[in-house]
């Protein structure tokens, strides 16, 4: 049965605080300003991405293009063995442990965890609410398009992934037409007239592209079938590429009196529209189009689709191979051109790596067009493309009746598709593989390009149609010959089959110019209608290591054929076998990444190897050199169902030299990774960053592992010591957030070893009856219900039933020996996880009439240790860290009055200058704000210890302006979410994180934060708020939109500008400053320098203090007293780096009726700091503020904040 793509089904079912090293290949769609005063850590764009596992990831893109990702919400139900984050080919990958088994079994597409690419393709949570997937099956419908709702908060893998007939779950990635640059007009024609009288009559060419202009005269009466796969019912071409491709393949040239006829002007067309009118598509659309073309009886299928760089392991490539193998259709695919997909590689994109496809590259003026892609990633011996055809200034039909020129390999492939249709007309009985071989074997050699770049050469249709002898392979590869050389690699034989299609016997000679290859016999005579074989023998024993290509030529009367042959001999490769062993010495589940950390010749790409009971080892063929190996090994508990230990085992320098050998990463070598603190604490969050390579080197690599240890806690952490390395930088940085355990338990029988597994916590110590709910399910009201993990239904379902029956908490233990560490989502009651032995002990205790359990719940830890440690040059043997050399930082998290809706995390991230390293942030969950915690923070002059707040809602990050360094013994204070809240631009003498508003030539790059608090902390967005930004040049609107960062072309002349912002906040998450109106007025003219910071003013509302005592008038609820006389403290200044005159005047007005009436405040300037003094009214609920400031150059700011803080 042919593969079939079914209609889509709906299935129910990071943070950058400090500069990082992960480079991004893609800038944010709304580019960040690029002025010199900006710091590299200024965040240009933040995206949220929900993975197929249900985990939510934040990807922060900085102004310099670097990226960092962090899991901000973990999906329930899976093992909590952490998350592996790493950079590869310029993109950030985030792979949760819950996906490990399916990835190791080859059932899960790695692209699903490339968060950079997901955002690049528009799959971020702000862009769409579903995740498009393709599920391939072993039986029945081979491919099915699936759309997963992201808000399900559960993993799709639990359903689809466990179906026995599922072969693999793929990302339904975005596609686009192959780089067609169309310019109306005529210069050159790609069509080459045949002299054989064939024009493709009787052949059907399917063109899968952007549709077609069916009214164009060149297609009159020759379009047999059309189908729209984009969800519409319109195949009209609004983009141009499809019309152009169809005309190069089969256009009649009627609109040009035949001058611009296609290669097969007599062929008919089946047109599949697989891109929308903007030129965007999905892999599923392309696969559906290919299926339809096959079912429609197309003889040749031109697939003008560009996917990603591929090793052949993508759904597009596999679909072409499957359909090509199961049908008589010839698939013709362009290579695409450089500059598309991953930078720095030249390999063909999907589906061009498919062996079944005729892959076509480009030529220019008879030579190789060096912008065309070539070769297959990870297979140097593959010859792709097989052919080239004109790609430069190629004339074809254009929507509307005219013509346009194109620079693209899409033109090359379209012409080759037409050539194949002509050859099919001549030989309708020929297979697709023979059509492909004949076009290649009759090609004209191309100068300035080896076989690995141009294949057999340029399409020569007259020669192809004139041949009466065919050969079954036009391009042939002996592959890669890699050391350690084996006899079957060095000495190989392949067979070429020649067939005589004439009515008389034919004799011809065979010869080859390829070193190491001989052909026998030297002469073949083939009777009419018969076939004969020739043998190619390769003996590469004496050859030097190199790339080899040449031709096996058949010449004789009427015979002019050549098979292009290639192979690669390498002399520096070694087979390295990797194995993982767990703490028990058994083959382990886990992962290992092997990557070069210094410049290489590009032959080896980092491998992310996944291990499981069914995949216990991997063998890599590596070029000699030095590699970094990073491994994560999990050791199960006695039941085999739960992770008992996570071990990081690696080799910073694996020197690969002959002979072959085996590397075993053994968790038994790992030393405990622990933290001892002066006050009792338990880890809440841990992050480990393994960095290898010199800072600033683009080849340097980072692997990161993080875990949230508050729910679903792995019992032990460990890391293996390493040898010292000096050839390049190496460091391992560990960051901890450790505080009071969220939940501690003891019973009438003694202390209970329990893990918190979810549910709402209440401050304090509570004692309840203990009931064996399995034996007495009706006695659980106002009690702790003890249950054994059910085997016939989910734990969540049972817990909910017990909660409905009145249980105040549930303690769960497993049915098998071992530990139970479930990660539950939203249980209605506090849930504890126990080992089986502890559970059975409590079960015995629960039989006593007086049995009780006491729970000590601490949802907000009063103190925390936010500390980091660095192993530099090597990982030592003692990883039992102790907190010392600390600063004490009192951190107040103010409330805006929205209760649990304003919940979030306190995040901490450390950057260490001594190793130029940092880790992902570690965090502590805060279910309600209005809270003070004491943080004991690493104090080191080399360490920037940065704290931020992250709202759970929309995962919005409130960032500090500066990254502080603490001294030992220092006492410091931090405040977050203290009112008043206001929009603001970068301000202060230094600003490490926020960008500035600049001018570049005649472009203004505006950048402001819609939310800043009293301490200057700021957010790129505000949950529950909408933003409108307008820019005026001399009162003429030049921009109006919903962004706070943007690039706006402006007049070159000197103008007065107004940047106007309106932030409307519905108060659901942040309950203050429900409306903010801001106008910045400034002057500007064109600048010759690269960038100039504009003189925008900023007002910081640093505090509201009691006018008499000077103490803050706001409590932790951001509320002040009615009737109190207060001073509003303000700091007014320009953006850092701006040139402007001093502040001339400042006025402040207050309102207690939401701005209906205003009263002036008395303003005093004290050495550049301002105080506006006023008295609160005797009644009212809040204070609104209106501030106006002007400098001596006329730059000004006017800002109105409605409901700035509360009164009581």
Q: Do 119 and 185 belong to one domain?
A: no
**Model confidence over 92-108: pLDDT tens digits?**
999 998 888 888 888 89
Task: Check residues 819 and 707 and name the one with the higher pLDDT.
Answer: 707
pLDDT in tens, 407-424: 999 999 999 999 999 999
CA of residue 557 relative to chain centroid, distance = 58
pLDDT at 166: 83
Please indicate, yes or no, whether residues 185 and 128 belong to a single structural domain of this protein: no
Query: Domain of 812?
Result: 743-857
Does 924 reside within a domain?
A: no
CA separation for the pair 890, 173 (Å, rounded):
47
Question: pLDDT of 265-299, one tens digit each?
Answer: 999 999 999 999 999 999 999 999 999 999 999 99
What DSSP designation does 721 have? -
Total of domains in the chain:
5
Predicted pLDDT of residue 38: 30
Least confident of 101-105, 643-647, 1135-1139: 101-105
Decide if 751 is inside a domain.
yes
Q: Give the CATH number of the domain where residue 523 resides.
A: 2.60.40.2310
Average confidence (pLDDT) over 36-65: 75
User: 557 burial class (0-12, 13-18, 19+ CB within 10 angstroms)?
Assistant: exposed
pLDDT band of residue 187 (cuts 50, 70, 90) is: low
User: Does a structural domain hold residue 939?
Assistant: no
Of 115, 149, 172, the position where a domain reaches its end is: 172
pLDDT at 157: 66
Q: In the listed set 131, 152, 172, which residue is the last one of a domain according to the structure? A: 172
What is the rounded CA–CA span in Å between residue 1077 and residue 1198?
8
pLDDT of residue 95: 93
- Is 282 found in the same domain as 205? yes
Q: What is the pLDDT of residue 970?
A: 96
SS3 state at 389: strand
Q: Any idea which of 210-214, 333-337, 1046-1050 has the lowest mean pLDDT?
A: 333-337
Model confidence at 66: pLDDT above 90? no
Whether residue 536 is predicted with pLDDT greater than 70 in this model: the reply is: yes
User: Is the confidence at residue 872, as pLDDT, over 90?
Assistant: yes
Burial code (b: 16+ CB inside 10 Å, e: under 16) for 559-592 equals bbbbbbbbbbbbebbbbbebbbbbbeeebbbbbb
pLDDT above 90: percentage of residues in the chain: 70
Cα 481 to Cα 321, 354, 535, 566, distances in angstroms:
25, 21, 20, 11
Q: Measured over all CA atoms, what is the biggest interatomic distance in the chain, rounded to whole angstroms?
A: 115
- pLDDT at residue number 161: 52
Residues 390 and 307 in one domain: yes
Degrees, nearest 5: CA angle 148-152-155: 70
Within-domain flag for 593: no
Q: Which residues contact 699 (CB under 8 A, 6 or more apart)?
A: 596, 597, 598, 599, 600, 693
Residue 95 and residue 215 in one domain: no
Q: Could you tell me if 155 and 244 lie in one domain?
A: no
Q: What is the pLDDT of residues 442-478, one digit of tens each?
A: 999 998 778 988 999 999 999 999 999 999 999 999 9
pLDDT score, position 992: 55
Using one digit for the tens of pLDDT, what is the confidence trace for 300-330? 999 999 887 777 888 999 999 999 998 999 9
Q: Which two three-digit tokens encode residue 983?
A: 């929009």
- Same domain membership, residue 1197 and residue 1119: yes
Stretch 30-50: mean pLDDT, rounded? 53
* Interval 208-230 mean pLDDT: 97
Residue 149 has pLDDT above 90, yes or no: no
8 Å CB contact between 675 and 736 = yes
pLDDT tens digits for 600-632? 776 777 878 999 888 899 988 888 999 999 999
Distance of CA 657 to the CA centre of its chain: 34
Least confidently predicted of 219-223, 339-343, 1064-1068? 339-343
Task: Indicate if 383 and 353 belong to the same structural domain.
Answer: yes
Q: Is residue 247 part of a domain?
A: yes
The predicted pLDDT at position 98 comes to 84
What is the rounded average pLDDT for all residues in the chain?
89
In a domain, 718, yes or no: no
Q: Is the pLDDT of residue 1204 over 60?
A: yes
Q: Which string of DSSP letters, residue by residue, matches 803-855?
A: HHTT-SEEEEE-SSSSB-----S--SSEEEE-BHHHHHHHHHHHTSTT-EEEE
Tens-place pLDDT, residues 558-578: 899 999 999 999 888 888 999
Question: Do 267 and 151 reside in the same domain of the chain?
Answer: no
Task: Assess whether pLDDT exceeds 70 at residue 592.
Answer: yes
Q: Which two tokens stand for residue 910?
A: 């450390």
Domain endpoint, select from 538, 569, 600: 569
Q: Which residue has the tokens 């109306």?
A: 184
Q: Summarize the confidence of residues 1073-1090 as an average pLDDT.
A: 93
In a domain, 168, yes or no: yes
Residues 1102, 1144 share a domain: yes
Q: Based on the fold, state whether residues 1044 and 1142 are members of the same structural domain.
A: yes
Residues 814 and 769 placed together within one structural domain of the fold: yes
Least confident of 94-108, 806-820, 979-993, 998-1012: 979-993
Q: pLDDT for 667-698, tens place per residue?
A: 999 999 999 999 999 999 999 999 999 988 88
Q: What is the pLDDT of residue 5?
A: 35
The residues, ordered by sequence, that sit 6+ positions from 884 with a Cβ below 8 Å of its Cβ are: none
Contacts of 208 (CB under 8 A, 6+ apart): 272, 274, 286, 289, 290, 293, 301, 302, 303, 304, 305
pLDDT in tens, 801-833: 999 999 999 999 998 887 766 655 567 899 998
Q: How confident is the model at residue 24 (pLDDT cuts 50, 70, 90)?
A: very low
Instruction: Give the global pTM.
Output: 0.83
Answer yes or no: is 19 within a domain: yes
Residue 558's contacts (CB-CB under 8 Å, 6 or more residues apart) are: 466, 467, 468, 469, 502, 506
User: What pLDDT, on the 0 to 100 scale, is given for residue 343?
Assistant: 44
Residue 180's pLDDT is what? Answer: 62
> H/E element holding 44?
strand 43-50
Whether residue 931 has a cis bond before it, omega within 30° of 0: no
């Amino acid at each position: 049965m042919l593969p079939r793509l079914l209609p889509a089904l709906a299935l129910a079912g990071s943070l950058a605080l400090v500069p990082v090293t992960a480079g991004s290949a893609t800038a944010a769609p709304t580019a960040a300003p690029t002025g010199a005063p900006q710091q590299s850590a200024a965040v240009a764009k933040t995206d949220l991405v929900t993975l197929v596992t249900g985990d939510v990831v934040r990807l922060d893109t900085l102004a310099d293009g670097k990226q960092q990702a962090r899991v901000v919400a973990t999906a329930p139900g899976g093992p909590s063995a952490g998350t592996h984050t790493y950079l590869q080919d310029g993109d950030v990958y985030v792979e949760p442990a819950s996906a490990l088994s399916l990835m190791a079994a080859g059932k899960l597409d790695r692209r699903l965890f490339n968060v950079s690419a997901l955002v690049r393709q528009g799959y971020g949570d702000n862009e769409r609410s579903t995740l498009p997937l393709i599920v391939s099956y072993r039986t029945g419908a081979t491919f099915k398009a699936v759309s997963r709702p992201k808000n399900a908060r559960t993993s799709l893998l639990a359903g689809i992934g466990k179906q026995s007939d599922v072969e693999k779950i793929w990302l339904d990635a975005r596609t686009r037409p192959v780089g067609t640059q169309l310019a109306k007009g005529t210069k050159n024609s790609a069509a080459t007239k045949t002299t054989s009288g064939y024009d493709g009559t009787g052949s059907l060419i399917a063109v899968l592209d952007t549709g077609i202009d069916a009214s164009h005269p060149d297609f009159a009466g020759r379009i047999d079938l059309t189908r729209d796969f984009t969800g519409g019912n319109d195949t009209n071409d609004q983009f141009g590429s499809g019309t152009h491709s169809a005309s190069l393949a089969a256009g009649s040239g009627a609109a040009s009196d035949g001058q611009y006829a296609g290669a097969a002007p007599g062929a008919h067309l089946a047109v599949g529209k697989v891109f929308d009118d903007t030129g965007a598509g999905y892999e599923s659309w392309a696969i559906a189009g290919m299926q339809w073309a096959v079912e429609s009886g197309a003889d040749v299928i031109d697939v003008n689709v560009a996917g990603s760089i591929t090793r052949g392991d993508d759904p597009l490539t596999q679909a072409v191979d499957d359909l090509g193998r199961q049908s008589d259709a010839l698939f013709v695919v362009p290579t695409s051109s450089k500059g598309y997909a991953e930078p720095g590689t030249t390999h063909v994109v999907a589906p061009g790596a498919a062996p079944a496809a005729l892959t076509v590259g480009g030529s220019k003026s008879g030579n190789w067009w060096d912008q065309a892609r070539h070769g297959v990633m990870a297979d140097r011996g593959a010859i792709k493309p097989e052919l080239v055809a004109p790609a430069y200034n190629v004339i074809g039909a254009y929507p509307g009746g005219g013509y346009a020129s194109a620079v693209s390999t899409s033109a090359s492939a379209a012409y080759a598709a037409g050539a194949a249709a002509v050859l099919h007309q001549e030989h309708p009985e020929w297979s697709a593989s023979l059509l492909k071989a004949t076009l290649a074997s009759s090609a004209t050699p191309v100068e300035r390009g080896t076989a690995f770049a141009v294949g057999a050469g340029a399409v020569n249709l007259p020669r192809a149609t004139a041949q009466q002898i065919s050969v079954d392979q036009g391009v042939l590869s002996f592959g890669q010959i890699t050391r350690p050389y084996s006899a079957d690699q060095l000495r190989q034989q392949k067979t070429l089959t020649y067939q005589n299609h004439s009515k008389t016997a034919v004799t011809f000679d065979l010869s080859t110019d390829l070193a190491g290859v001989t052909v026998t016999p030297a002469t073949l005579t083939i009777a009419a209608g018969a076939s004969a074989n020739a043998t190619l023998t390769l003996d590469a024993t004496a050859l030097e290591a190199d790339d080899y290509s040449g031709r096996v030529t058949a010449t004789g009367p009427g015979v002019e054929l050549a098979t292009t042959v290639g192979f690669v001999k390498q002399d520096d490769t070694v087979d390295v076998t990797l194995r993982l062993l767990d703490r028990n010495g058994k083959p382990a589940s886990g992962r290992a990444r092997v990557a070069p950390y210094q410049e290489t010749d590009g032959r080896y790409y980092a491998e992310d190897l996944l291990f499981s009971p069914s995949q216990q080892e991997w063998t890599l063929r590596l070029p000699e050199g030095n590699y970094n190996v990073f491994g994560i090994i999990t050791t199960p508990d006695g039941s085999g169902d739960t992770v008992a230990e996570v071990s990081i085992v690696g080799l910073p320098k694996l020197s690969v030299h002959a002979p072959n050998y085996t590397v075993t990463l053994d968790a038994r070598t790992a030393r405990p990774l622990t933290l001892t603190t002066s006050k009792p604490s338990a880890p809440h969050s841990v992050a480990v960053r393994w960095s290898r390579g010199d800072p600033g080197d683009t080849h340097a690599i980072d692997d990161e592992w993080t875990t949230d240890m508050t729910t679903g806690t792995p019992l032990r952490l460990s890391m293996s010591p390493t040898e010292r390395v000096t050839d390049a930088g190496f460091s391992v940085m560990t960051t901890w957030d450790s505080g009071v355990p969220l939940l501690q338990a003891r019973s009438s029988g003694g202390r209970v070893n329990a893990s918190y597994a979810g549910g709402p916590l209440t401050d304090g110590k509570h004692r309840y009856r203990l009931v064996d709910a399995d034996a007495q399910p009706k006695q659980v009201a106002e009690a702790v219900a003890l249950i054994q993990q059910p085997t016939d239904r989910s734990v969540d379902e049972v817990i909910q039933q017990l909660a409905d029956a009145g249980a105040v908490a549930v303690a769960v233990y497993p049915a098998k020996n071992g530990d139970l560490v479930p990660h539950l989502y939203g249980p209605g009651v506090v849930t504890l996880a126990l080992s089986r032995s502890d559970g059975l002990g409590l079960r015995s205790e629960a039989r006593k009439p007086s049995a009780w359990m006491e729970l000590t719940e601490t949802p907000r830890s009063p103190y925390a240790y936010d500390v980091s440690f660095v192993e530099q040059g090597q990982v030592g043997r003692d990883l039992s860290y102790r907190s010392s050399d600390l600063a004490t930082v009192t951190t107040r998290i103010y409330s805006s009055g929205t209760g649990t809706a304003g919940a979030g995390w306190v995040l901490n991230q450390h950057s260490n200058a001594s190793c130029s390293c940092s880790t992902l942030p570690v965090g502590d969950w805060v279910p309600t704000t209005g809270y003070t915690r004491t943080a004991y923070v690493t104090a080191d002059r080399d360490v920037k210890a940065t704290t931020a707040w992250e709202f759970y809602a929309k995962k919005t990050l409130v960032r500090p302006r500066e990254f502080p360094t603490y001294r030992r013994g220092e006492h410091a204070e931090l405040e977050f979410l203290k009112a008043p809240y206001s929009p603001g631009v970068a301000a202060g003498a230094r600003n490490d994180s926020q960008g500035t508003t600049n001018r570049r030539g005649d472009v203004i790059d505006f950048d402001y934060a819609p939310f800043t608090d009293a301490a200057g902390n700021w957010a790129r967005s505000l949950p529950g708020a909408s933003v409108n930004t307008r820019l005026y040049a001399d009162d003429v609107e030049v921009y109006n939109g919903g962004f706070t960062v943007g690039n706006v072309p402006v007049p070159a002349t000197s103008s007065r500008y107004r940047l106007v912002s309106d932030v409307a906040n519905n108060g659901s998450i942040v309950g203050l400053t429900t409306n903010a109106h801001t106008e910045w007025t400034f002057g500007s003219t064109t600048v010759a320098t690269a960038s100039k910071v504009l003189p925008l003013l900023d007002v910081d509302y640093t505090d509201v203090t009691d006018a008499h005592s000077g103490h803050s008038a706001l409590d932790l609820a951001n509320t002040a007293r009615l009737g109190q006389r207060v001073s509003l403290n303000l700091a007014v200044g320009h953006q850092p780096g701006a040139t402007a005159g001093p502040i001339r005047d400042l006025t402040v007005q207050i309102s207690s009726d939401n701005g209906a009436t205003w009263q002036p405040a008395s303003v005093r300037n004290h050495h550049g700091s301002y105080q506006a003094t006023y008295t609160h009214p005797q009644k009212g609920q809040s204070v609104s503020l209106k501030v106006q400031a002007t400098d001596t150059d006329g730059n000004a700011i006017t800002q109105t904040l409605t409901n700035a803080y509360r009164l009581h």
